[in-house]
Chain A
Amino acid sequence: MPILVNLDVMLAKRKMSLSDLAARVDITLANLSILKTGKAKAIRFSTLAAICDALDCQPGDLLFYSKKD
């Protein structure tokens, strides 16, 4: 997948754990884990907006495009 999710970096920057984010965004830990490990195939705009709101960042801070792979 050429789209990379930088969720772990943003979590480290905000000093927040994955379970804290799961509680704030109201997404299961399993789903956030799928997103963090890059196994997710798609992300809903509503989920992205909720994560951006919780982490106080832009979608571009979370998602990166890589030409490799």
Chain B
Amino acid sequence: MKLTHIRRLAAALTVVVIFLIVCDVLITASASWWLKSVYAGSLGELKVMLGYHYNPAGMIYPLMLAFFIISGLLCLGILIAALHILRRIRNSKPFCLPNARSMQHAAYCGFGLCIVFLSKLFFSPSILTFVCAGIFLLFGLFLTVLAALLHQAVELKDENELTI
């Protein structure tokens, strides 16, 4: 694939990532409102989709709110890291140390999301939550390996460039 094609692809992906960031911020910021609506019953379908049950004692609400806000912020971290990586790819600097660092940050956010989803199992257990936790664990591990590989690639590139 030519460099111009990669840049075009990166530009298209940047638009998608920016859209996802906007969605993430809106959903996270309005979590309190729509979660209350879910509990009030006006968003019943969403309640079924999210896979948890109505708790009349109302004890689960703050936990669910914390879950959505924390996971929203961690997702934002992944998206911002992706945005930085894509910006550097568009600037023709795919093999640089900041890219490896951004990838590692995204991996940490993935591990954080795994922990958040695992902790959700204690107050609102569902198979989907368990699967999501597994996916985020794999995501974090995969990105950690990829970041280490990129780090090594950057070192090799530097050495090659500085060999006269």
* A interface residues, Cβ below 8 angstroms from B: 27, 31-32, 34-35, 39-44, 47
Q: Do B162 and A39 touch across chains, with their CB atoms under 8 A apart?
A: yes
Q: How far is the CA of A32 from the CA of B159 in the complex (A)?
A: 16
Chain B interface size band reads under 10
23 contacts between A and B (CB under 8 A): A27-B164, A31-B164, A32-B164, A34-B162, A34-B164, A35-B164, A39-B162, A40-B162, A40-B163, A40-B164, A41-B158, A41-B159, A41-B162, A41-B163, A42-B159, A42-B162, A42-B163, A42-B164, A43-B163, A43-B164, A44-B163, A44-B164, A47-B164
B24 to chain A, nearest CB (A): 42
Q: How far is the CA of A43 from the CA of B162 in the complex (A)?
A: 8
Write the B126-164 contact mask toward A (1 if CB under 8 angstroms, else 0). Answer: 000000000000000000000000000000001100111
Q: How far is the CA of A47 from the CA of B162 in the complex (A)?
A: 13
Q: How far is the CA of A40 from the CA of B159 in the complex (A)?
A: 8
Closest A residue to B162 by CB, please name it.
A41
Q: How far is the CA of A32 from the CA of B164 in the complex (A)?
A: 8
Q: Which residues of B contact A40 (CB under 8 A)?
A: 162-164
A50 to chain B, nearest CB (A): 10
Q: Which residues of A contact B163 (CB under 8 A)?
A: 40-44
